[in-house]
Amino acid sequence: MTIEAAQSSGSQPVSTGAVSTVLRLFVEIGAGIKAFFRGSHPASAGSCTENAAVETEAVAPAQIPAHAEAEADARISPNADNELGRQEIERRRNLVRTLFNDFWSGEDQKPASFTVRLDQAEDYLNERLAANGETWRLDTETRAMLSLPPRSSSPD
């Protein structure tokens, strides 16, 4: 069965099977893109809740190949931070921002300086990063990589 694609003298008949195949491909591509962004940025959908942490933990083992083995004392090369892509740096910035906002939400008495607030939240941020399965922590090098201010020298 064929249909006319347009009402012109030069139009060619188009098979409905071909049209449905193309439409199906578009739907699959859209679903793949949506799944990619959902899997790459679990915390960017708003706040990092316990459900988001559980979902992240449920996805993580499926992403590790079965034949991969980790050494007990394996270290990440210091050059790895320099090789992070722009998207990964932005993902980490968004995650830190979300966790930082969680830490300070509901607090009426906040230090005036962002740097002091970040310093006070650092332990909490690192605990939440670990709970979410992140292998990196907020430290001097990470702050520089994420364009965050260094630790203040003033006492808390």
Residue 125 pLDDT exceeds 80 = yes
Q: Mean pLDDT across the stretch 93-119?
A: 92
The CA-based angle 113-118-123, given to 5 degrees, is 145
Q: Mean pLDDT across the stretch 132-140?
A: 93
Distance CA 104, CA 99 (A): 9
Residue type, 120: Q
Distance CA 136, CA 123 (A): 13
Q: CB within 8 A of 25, min separation 6: which ones?
A: none
Q: Mean pLDDT across the stretch 113-139?
A: 94
Would you list the domain boundaries of the chain? 14-62+80-145
Q: Mean pLDDT across the stretch 67-77?
A: 51
Q: If pLDDT is split at 50, 70 and 90, which confidence band does 95 have?
A: very high
pTM of the model: 0.46
Burial (CB count within 10 angstroms: exposed 0-12, middle 13-18, buried 19+), residue 48: buried
Lowest mean pLDDT among 25-29, 84-88, 130-134, 139-143: 25-29
Q: Are 134 and 95 in contact (CB under 8 A)?
A: yes
The mean pLDDT of the chain is 72
CA-based end-to-end distance of the chain = 77
